[in-house]
Amino acid sequence: MRQSLANVRLLGYIMLEWPSQEAVLAIVGTVDACAEDELELEGQAYLDHLLRVFRSNKDPTPNPSGHISQPSFVRKRDVMMYVMEEASQNHQTAKKKALIRDGFCCVITGQYDTHTVETVKELRDDVLAFELRIGVTHCSHIFGESVNANISRPIVDEKKKTYAATVWTIMESFGYTELQQELNGVNIYRLENVMTLSADAHDRFDRLKLWFVETDTPNTYRLDATDEIFLTSYPKTVTFENHSDLDLPLPSCTYLKIHAACARIVHLSGAAEYIDMILREMEDVKVLSEDGTSADVSNYAILSSNPRVSVF
């Protein structure tokens, strides 16, 4: 019952929070095309294919949903499956370029990357002289790096390919007609899609607890979060800058808008709370109850038994 309500509310919040009129029209079309008792399943489909995927480091790949299945949608998804390319593994290259662009530190906290400080004498000297903070940093992707990973194996990864194609098709129906091509193959590692974040900021951003809100000043964003405690040690605004002499593009405003919309939708609809609760129960429950009291946990465990792939 808790998940059913969250799924239905999720459809409404997509219409309220998504930054494109095309998304509103797409959801209206989805709602009009299904019976009242199917709304919960439609909401679940959008949760699986559009919102949960931003929690890429936490959740496995759900089974491709049988819903969002209007004929035109299915045809577009099949085209996406045909044109998708597998991404080669160059995460380290993206991380190095992002570190150079971001001045070897977290774009939010200013915390310098420990490994870089240990290996670059000049930076180490500055850290000691000015008592700068250091710590572990991550190359955080806005859209997850493995969206096109392992999709070239026709038998083993057919579910992954269908799942990823469905996500891109949803994005296209929401008005982002160039997005799949922009992030296809190795383009998922483009600098517009990555930033350097400290370990805590990376975790909050990845779990949709933290997001960037566009301001009137170019490349300047206000930080927002599901709880103000996540913002206590952070600045109110963050300005992305290229700290190098190289032509290194900054994080995409469009990608950050999509991430922010998904974060707000998951939070406001109650879907994030539900997923967190189920994941906690999966850790606590060793033997699922036969009387059905752990049905939600059982369903999610079955859903999560497939190999993981990050889509966003």
Cα gap 134→109, rounded to integer Å: 10
If one counts every other C-beta atom within 10 angstroms of the C-beta of residue 128, the result is 10
* Other residues' Cβ atoms within 10 Å of the Cβ of residue 93: 13
Q: Tell me the sheet residues that pair with 198.
A: 137
Residue 308 has pLDDT above 60, yes or no: no
Strand order in the sheet with 210-214: 210-214, 220-225, 237-239
Average pLDDT, the chain: 80
Reported as a pLDDT band with limits 50, 70 and 90, residue 307 is very low
What is the per-residue pLDDT for 259? 95
Q: ∠ CA(57), CA(269), CA(285), 5° rounding?
A: 55
Percent of the chain having pLDDT more than 70? 70
Q: Which comes out higher in pLDDT, residue 1 or 231?
A: 231
Average pLDDT over residues 187-210: 95
79-88, 119-128, 224-233: least confidently modelled range: 79-88
- The answer to whether 36 and 300 have CB atoms below 8 angstroms apart is no
Average pLDDT over residues 147-160: 59
pLDDT attached to residue 172: 93
Q: Which residue has the higher pLDDT, 36 or 207?
A: 207
pLDDT of residue 151: 55
Element containing residue 195 per DSSP (H, E): strand 194-198
22-31, 41-50, 225-234: least confident range: 41-50
Per-residue pLDDT at 61 exceeds 80: no
pLDDT score at 209? 95
pLDDT at 21 over 90: yes
Identify the pLDDT of residue 134.
98
Answering whether pTM is above 0.85, one says no
Q: Are 219 and 240 in contact (CB under 8 A)?
A: yes
Task: Quick: pLDDT tens for 116-128.
Answer: 999 999 999 999 9
- Arithmetic mean of pLDDT, 140-147: 82
Q: Model confidence at 277, in pLDDT bands (50, 70, 90)?
A: low
Residue 287 confidence (pLDDT) above 60: no
Nearby residues of 263 by Cβ (< 8 Å), 6 or more positions away: 54, 208, 209, 210, 211, 226
With bands split at pLDDT 50, 70 and 90, how would you rate the model's confidence at 53?
low
pLDDT computed for residue 309 by the predictor: 33
54 in Cβ contact with 312 (< 8 Å): yes
